[in-house]
Amino acid sequence: MAETPPDRLSNDPKSPFHDRALLERGVGIRFNGAEKTNVEEYCVSEGWVRVAVGKTTGRNGQPLTLKLTGAVEPYFRDAEA
pLDDT level of residue 4 (50, 70, 90 thresholds): confident
Q: Which of 34, 70, 33 is nearest to 50 (CA)?
A: 70
Angstrom distance (rounded) from CA 41 to CA 39: 6
- Please tell me the predicted confidence (pLDDT) of residue 74: 95
- Please tell me the predicted confidence (pLDDT) of residue 2: 58
Cβ contact 71:34 at 8 Å: no
Model pLDDT for residues 48-81, shown as the tens digit of each residue: 999 999 888 889 888 899 999 999 999 998 865 4
Model pLDDT for residues 20-39, shown as the tens digit of each residue: 999 998 999 999 999 999 99
Angstrom distance (rounded) from CA 61 to CA 55: 11
CB-hemisphere CA count at 13 Å for 54? 3
